[in-house]
Amino acid sequence: MIAATVIFGIYVGYLAFANQSFPVEQKPFSDYATMASPPQFNGTEMSFHVKWLNPDFFPVLAQITSNTTDAANSIACGTGLENATAGQVIAMPFGLGTATTTAVGVQLFIEVQPVAGGSDFTIVYNINSISALQGDVTPTTYSCQGSETIM
């Protein structure tokens, strides 16, 4: 009984670590970023190419979620960035848990940090519905590697 309780506690701790929370404060996506190209979705992968607008801030974590399409929920992934230049395109690809032909109500959450210090905040990009297109998403040197790094 005690061993089961310890194992369950470790599991809950792991889930809390793997599913890091984003800051509650949200700011408009368009003040910090735009999409360099439309999001790509092939049924098993979803990829975003985010064009960064403000060099005084940089993206720290990214995650996709959906209240409707369970397959479109990912873990939080670190970008590995310590700054971003205006106009820089940042690839944010995510593998889906299961294949699906349509993803509904997808939100791309990005945690943003000021370069000069201060409080982090969240920006959100919404997709009402997206249908899978056969083929590979645009190749990138980045991929979601757990809750620590997209690289």
Contact 52, 105 (CB under 8 A): no
Query: Per-residue pLDDT for 11 more than 50?
Result: no
* Residue 11, SS3 per DSSP: helix
User: What's the average model confidence in pLDDT over 17-32?
Assistant: 83
Average the pLDDT over 1-24 and give the result. Answer: 51
Contact between 42 and 137 under an 8 Å Cβ cutoff? The reply is yes
Kindly report, residue by residue over 104-151, the tens digit of the pLDDT: 999 999 999 999 989 999 999 999 999 999 888 876 766 665 554 343
Q: What is the DSSP letter of 86?
A: T
- Domains and their CATH numbers in the chain: 2-150 (2.60.40)
What would the mean pLDDT of 76-82 be, rounded to a whole number? 89
Q: Give the Cβ contact number of residue 93 at 10 Å.
A: 21
> Mean pLDDT over residues 59-68, rounded?
92
From the list 44, 63, 17, 70, the residue with the least C-alpha distance to 135 is 44
CA geometry: angle 143, 14, 78, nearest 5 deg: 30
Length of the chain: 151
State pLDDT tens for residues 30-52: 999 999 999 999 998 999 999 99
Residue 91 has pLDDT above 60, yes or no: yes
Check pLDDT > 80 for residue 62: yes
